[in-house]
Structure 1
Amino acid sequence: MITSKRGAGRRPAAVLAASLLLVGCGAGAARTTDRTPGAETTGSGAARPAPAPRLSLDAAPRRLPGLGPRTSAKIPPKSGQVLVVTGRGRDSSVSTAVLYERTASGWHAGTRWPAHNAFKGWTDHHVIGDLRSPVGVYTLTDAGGLRRDPGTRLPYDHSGGFSVDGTGFEGEPLAGSFDYVIAIDYNREPGTTPLDWTRPLGAGRGGGIWVHVDHGGPTQGCVSLAEKHMKALLRALDPARRPVIVMGHAAALGR
């Protein structure tokens, strides 16, 4: 059965039945129109409370490491959680991710996680089919996946529409890549399922850019993390703290 957990008062956007175009890592996911609003429940039907996990914390710098003044200025002042994804190079598909939490004493860093980004690296002007991940600062408002909600406080769309198969750029199987996803609010309408097709910048600027489960190779435009790290991230993100992702290669983020 397909269930959805959406924020109170939100209206789910229309989800088309047509196949997705090749616009991002979400291209392989089918769409569904069976989305029943309501809290995620346990097998007994009782509502499952969202946990409040804590990540391991290190030092507390006042400014996020590796981010220059231009990049830092794009982070909303009220954001209390920032996922920084730093690529090894402009044309590299290898990156690392760190979730920072803001406290009164400064930014605390969580564990450093290995990650992948797009096959050809990064770009400041993403367009459909360029096989590069968009550099920038984007909000993280919505999640979903083929598997049930692992305990996130983000609105979560549990749907068969996240099914994917085939192989990646290095011949690795893609099955399971969309078991858990977090929509990156690049060229999409925040407050909707990651499967929503709305593209405010136009279809030519791509879309379907997610954080999803790593399949062992480069992505089409998304960021991918190991499954255990995806689950940890989903449980850690709190919409009340207005989480964002800062993503790009080191030189771009250092501006």
Structure 2
Amino acid sequence: MTQQVVAVVANEATAATAVLTAWEHTGGDRIRVLGPIPAWIGKDGVGRASESTARTPVGAWPLTEAFGIEPAETRLPYRLVTTNDWWVSDVGSPYYNRHFSGAPGTCPFDEAAGENLGEAGPVYAHAVVIGYNRDPVVPGAGSAFFLHVTNGEPTAGCVAIPKPDLEVLLRWLDPAKHPVVEISG
């Protein structure tokens, strides 16, 4: 049963901004633990995601793992990433919408259709994987959706908030409480 909900609400489906609020559900009570926080979302707003849009996927998705170029305090499984870490967006690859470790120039997928996590810079100081299109994975339905540090601009479909707020969120998220992100607009 989900006890932690990260709500991301856009005022309208075409907006590139939203408000993030984190809630803890205990018994019959819902307690706000973080927010409201201004967030950037996909430059095409929210709705049906794909590889050909910069849209944040509408729906409820699990938050089960995290990564970053900096260490983090979190109970989620956390991977420190380098330039040998990728998120695969090559629709023809069996690794589509998954993490892959491999040196640049040696990966068994089109690296131009992947994201080198270690090269992304400060936006990936910390990131939580949004479990959209993960089980089952549908090639072309969209990949590499994360809750990450903002650079002050719309994203390609991720949700981005200030680093201090993301660090608080990372410390709060608990896999035993089955956290999810609910995205609406």
What TM-score, normalized by structure 2, do the two folds share? Answer: 0.78
Separation (CA, whole Å) in 2 of partners of 1:247 and 1:84 = 6
Structure having the higher Rg: 1
**Counterpart selection for 2:49 from 92, 105, 126:** 126
Separation (CA, whole Å) in 2 of partners of 1:113 and 1:85 = 9
Structure 1 vs Structure 2: percent identity of aligned residues? 29
Matches within 5 A, 1:68-107: 78-107=1-30
Match of 1:172 in 2: none
Matches within 5 A, 1:170-249: 175-188=121-134, 200-202=137-139, 204-249=140-185
CA RMSD of aligned residues (A): 1.3
Match of 2:81 in 1: 159
Q: Do the aligned partners of residues 105 and 205 (structure 1) sit closer, same or farther apart at CA in structure 2, a change above 3 Å counting?
A: closer
Could you give the per-residue CA deviations for residues 168-194 of structure 1, whole angstroms, max 9, x where no partner exists?
Answer: xxxxxxx300110000001125xxxxx
Could you give the per-residue CA deviations for residues 226-246 of structure 1, whole angstroms, max 9, x where no partner exists?
Answer: 000110000000000000000
Separation (CA, whole Å) in 2 of partners of 1:228 and 1:90 = 27
User: Which has the bigger relative contact order, CA under 8 A and spacing at least 6?
Assistant: 2
Higher strand share: 2
Uncovered stretches (5+) of structure 1, i.e. residues with no partner: 1-77, 166-174, 190-198, 250-255
Instruction: Give the ranges of 4+ consecutive aligned residues of structure 1 lying more than 4 Å apart after TM superposition.
Output: none
| Helix, strand or coil at the partner of 2:164 | helix
| Helix, strand or coil at the partner of 2:181 | strand
Instruction: Give the residue type in structure 1 aligned to 2:132.
Output: Y
| Helix, strand or coil at the partner of 1:177 | helix
Q: Is the 8 A contact 1:138 1:246 kept in 2?
A: yes
Match of 1:141 in 2: 64
| Per-residue deviation, 1:103 | 1.4
Separation (CA, whole Å) in 2 of partners of 1:164 and 1:121 = 25
Q: How many residues align?
A: 151
Uncovered stretches (5+) of structure 2, i.e. residues with no partner: 86-116
Separation (CA, whole Å) in 2 of partners of 1:207 and 1:244 = 17
Match of 2:37 in 1: 113
